[in-house]
């Protein structure tokens, strides 16, 4: 639905150093009554590691991360440079809404490097990655204290979001009705053969 993973790398942020977490915001579009999150992929540089790395999705609270909605499944020790995918259990995302991709470490984690892009508006897909106020860092209170980061200059962290649109209610009703009619027809044919 949105990606800036192909952007040039300007800098990276050390998630876990001094217990910092980091986040970048994305905004869904209004093309569907809702969406089901499949996965989030983050672009990481080589790291010292040490375990405890996580990627989560947070709600928006007035332009900063709000409540943790889900911690996704994926590598807890991504050492080598690359794009790392983190799978969702399939939580729902609302249309025309802001959410935050947050990377952090558990209490005893190491240090990992999340790449930041070099272009303000370099993203693909129908959703949006805003160019400003996208770099947020947290102290170790579990994401309760957020501040703009050192490079909050309009170059978001590199990530992509994969999701599927929830069908319109009329489409779902039409499909359900069609399946019901098909089942009735098949049932009658089966009875005739007996």
Is residue 33 in a domain?
Answer: yes
- pTM for the predicted model, two decimal places: 0.83
Is residue 183 in a domain?
Answer: no
Q: Quote the tokens at residue 70.
A: 């889900």
Is residue 35 in a domain?
Answer: yes
pLDDT at 173: 45
Q: Quote the tokens at residue 41.
A: 């992929």
pLDDT at 39: 98
Q: Quote the tokens at residue 105.
A: 């470490």
Alpha-carbon dihedral sign for residues 155, 160, 165, 166: negative
- CATH for 150: 2.60.120
pLDDT at 190: 54
pLDDT at 193: 57
Is residue 190 in a domain?
Answer: no
Could you give the CA distance from residue 102 to residue 57 in angstroms, rounded to a whole number? Answer: 6
Partners of 33 in beta bridges? none
- Please identify every stretch of the chain with a pLDDT value under 70, giving residue numbers as ranges: 132-135, 139-143, 149-154, 170-194
Is residue 193 in a domain?
Answer: no
Helix ranges restricted to H, 34-168: none
Residue recorded with tokens 């499949």: 38
Could you give the CA distance from residue 29 to residue 129 in angstroms, rounded to a whole number? Answer: 11
Cα 162 to Cα 91, 112, 144, 149, 187: the distances in Å are 12, 23, 27, 26, 40
pLDDT at 171: 46
End-to-end CA distance of the chain: 51
Is residue 56 in a domain?
Answer: yes
Domain of 87 in residue numbering reads as 2-166
Cite the beta strand spans of 33-191 per DSSP E. Answer: 35-49, 53-60, 65-71, 82-87, 92-93, 98-105, 111-117, 136-138, 146-148, 159-165
Indicate the number of domains in the chain. Answer: 1
Q: Are 5 and 83 in contact (CB under 8 A)?
A: yes
Is residue 189 in a domain?
Answer: no
CA Rg, the chain, in Å?
21
Is residue 153 in a domain?
Answer: yes
């Amino acid at each position: 639905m949105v990606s800036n993973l192909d952007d040039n790398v300007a800098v990276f942020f050390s998630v876990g150093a001094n217990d910092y977490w980091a986040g970048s915001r994305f905004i869904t579009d209004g093309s569907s009554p809702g969406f089901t999150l499949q996965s989030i992929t983050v672009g990481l540089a080589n790291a010292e590691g040490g375990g405890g790395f996580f990627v989560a999705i947070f709600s928006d609270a007035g332009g900063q991360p709000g409540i943790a909605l889900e911690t996704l499944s994926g590598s807890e020790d991504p050492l080598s440079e690359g794009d790392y995918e983190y799978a969702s259990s399939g939580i729902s995302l609302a249309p025309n809404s802001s959410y935050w991709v947050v990377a952090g470490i558990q209490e005893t984690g190491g240090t990992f490097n999340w790449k930041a892009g070099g272009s303000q508006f370099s993203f693909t897909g129908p959703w949006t990655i805003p160019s400003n106020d996208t770099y947020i860092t947290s102290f170790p209170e579990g994401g309760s204290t957020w501040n703009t980061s050192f490079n909050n200059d309009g170059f978001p962290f590199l990530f992509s979001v994969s999701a599927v649109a929830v069908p319109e209610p009329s489409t779902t009703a039409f499909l359900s009705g069609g399946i019901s009619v098909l089942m009735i027809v098949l049932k009658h044919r089966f009875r005739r053969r007996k």
